[in-house]
A and B are shown apart, each in its own frame.
Chain A
């Protein structure tokens, strides 16, 4: 199962999406900041080989999912303004909880608010695990925070680690409570000589004294039970298609398209 996430920055990028779908044999698209006419999207991207359908969002289209894998296989568990949680049961693939998110940005909110938001997200994920009885979780989206920041690492936040061996441990004990880990492979995509062909998924030059310039805000995290099904070598930042270059000649993101680059990954079948 090949999945792509992309923050479209409210642009109509159907032609680029069509090429990404065809060149990468995509089964599931997750978008945020989606403002494309649904009819146009479907009539452009769908082909004789693959028919995408829109997964019901119950009136909250901040996050949009298109799938070729049958809508009945996506059972919504929780919809909120900033994240959607589904139970996904697709034949020949591991069952999992699929969390798609577009979290609040530092532009409009303080870092403390981001941390609190991540705590609430984690709470909803834990609740979904309890309600569904599934323990495998895939979290995908524009988290508006880098892998190394507090909310990603905090025990009460996403509590993610860059190390599979640590993720596979039962959890970490803090003040008597045990917190389980997410594995965050996106640490491998920080910087120009990382696994990605570009130094991040988002570029922003701040006029403050500190500016990271490149960020990895678009992230994929998963629970240790999915480590065998998602190979880090099958995760990539898409920066070009046959007809479109999503980065300019200076190697920076070409904002003619979006200010974010798409993130793709593959879930192996059972």
Chain B
């Protein structure tokens, strides 16, 4: 017999954490009219773990990077993953290290981080400083 025994491979419809982050990063670019952009970094850690960091980037302030959150997982099976982020609650800041079991939890946590008061405060500051830098 001749030819390939491998199946036809399709990756377009497979959801990955990076594809979700890219989508949200593009949304950030849209709502800030490109004044703020983003950077996603992937790093292989000891013990076969992978860490992903999501930074907001401010090109007008010399490409300052602000890390909003990061998460790590163990294998090609993305879940369970551990997501680290910080939120302000009742005037106090809490560093969260939350285990995530599935896509629903991932989406909920991501929404919580991105729509939080803390993130809003950071983005507004970065926008204000970018505006000031552009006026100099």
- Please count how many residues in chain A sit with their CB below 8 Å of the partner chain's CB atoms: 26
Q: Is the Cβ of A120 less than 8 Å from the Cβ of B51?
A: yes
Q: Is the Cβ of B45 less than 8 Å from the Cβ of A78?
A: no
Q: Give CA–CA (A226, B49) in the complex, Å.
A: 33
- Assuming the contacts A76-B64, A80-B66, A120-B70, asked whether A59 and B95 have C-beta atoms less than 8 A apart, the reply is no
Of the candidates A59, A112, A123, the one having the most CB atoms from chain B within 10 angstroms of its own CB is A59
Q: State which of B24-32, B101-109, B117-125 sits at the interface with chain A.
A: B117-125
- Assuming the contacts A78-B65, A109-B97, asked whether A59 and B118 have C-beta atoms less than 8 A apart, the reply is yes
Q: Is the Cβ of B67 less than 8 Å from the Cβ of A58?
A: no
Query: What residues on A are CB-neighbors of B126 within 8 Å?
Result: 58
- Assuming the contacts A58-B66, A76-B61, A79-B64, asked whether A116 and B95 have C-beta atoms less than 8 A apart, the reply is no
Q: How distant is A162 from chain B, measured CB to nearest CB, in Å? A: 23
Q: Give CA–CA (A156, B44) in the complex, Å.
A: 10
Q: Is the Cβ of B66 less than 8 Å from the Cβ of A78?
A: yes
Query: What residues on B are CB-neighbors of A56 within 8 Å?
Result: 129
- Assuming the contacts A78-B66, A81-B86, A104-B95, asked whether A116 and B121 have C-beta atoms less than 8 A apart, the reply is no
Q: Kindly supply a per-residue 1/0 record for chain B positions 71-113, scoring 1 wherever the CB is within 8 Å of any chain A CB and 0 otherwise.
A: 0100000000000111000000101010000000000000000
Q: Give CA–CA (A221, B32) in the complex, Å.
A: 38
Query: What residues on A are CB-neighbors of B86 within 8 Å?
Result: 81
- Please count how many residues in chain B sit with their CB below 8 Å of the partner chain's CB atoms: 30
Q: Give CA–CA (A164, B110) in the complex, Å.
A: 45
Q: Is the Cβ of B62 less than 8 Å from the Cβ of A75?
A: yes
Q: Give CA–CA (A78, B70) in the complex, Å.
A: 14
Q: Kindly supply a per-residue 1/0 record for chain A positions 42-86, scoring 1 wherever the CB is within 8 Å of any chain B CB and 0 otherwise.
A: 000000000000001011101000000000000111111100000
Q: Is the Cβ of B46 less than 8 Å from the Cβ of A119?
A: yes
Classify the secondary structure of B's interface with A.
strand
Q: Is the Cβ of A116 less than 8 Å from the Cβ of B49?
A: yes
Q: Is the Cβ of A59 less than 8 Å from the Cβ of B121?
A: yes
Q: Is the Cβ of B43 less than 8 Å from the Cβ of A123?
A: yes
Q: Is the Cβ of A58 less than 8 Å from the Cβ of B118?
A: no
Q: Give CA–CA (A58, B61) in the complex, Å.
A: 11
Q: Is the Cβ of A116 less than 8 Å from the Cβ of B46?
A: yes
Q: Is the Cβ of B122 less than 8 Å from the Cβ of A60?
A: yes
- Assuming the contacts A59-B125, A62-B93, asked whether A79 and B43 have C-beta atoms less than 8 A apart, the reply is no
Q: Kindly supply a per-residue 1/0 record for chain B positions 36-68, scoring 1 wherever the CB is within 8 Å of any chain A CB and 0 otherwise.
A: 000001010111010101010000011111110
- Assuming the contacts A59-B121, A119-B43, asked whether A113 and B97 have C-beta atoms less than 8 A apart, the reply is yes
A positions within 8 Å CB-CB of B: 56, 58-60, 62, 75-81, 104, 108-109, 112-113, 115-116, 119-120, 123, 127, 131, 154, 156
Q: A77-B65, A79-B64 are in contact. List 15 more A-B contacts (CB 8 A).
A: A62-B93, A76-B61, A76-B64, A77-B64, A78-B66, A80-B66, A112-B47, A116-B46, A116-B49, A116-B51, A119-B43, A119-B45, A120-B45, A123-B41, A156-B45
26 A-B pairs in the complex with CB atoms less than 8 angstroms apart: A56-B129, A58-B64, A59-B118, A59-B125, A60-B122, A75-B62, A77-B62, A77-B63, A77-B65, A78-B64, A78-B65, A78-B67, A79-B65, A81-B84, A81-B85, A109-B97, A112-B47, A116-B49, A116-B72, A119-B51, A120-B43, A120-B45, A120-B51, A120-B53, A127-B41, A154-B46
Return the 9 tightest CB-CB contacts between A and B, nearest first. Answer: A80-B67, A59-B122, A78-B65, A81-B86, A59-B125, A79-B66, A59-B121, A76-B64, A58-B125
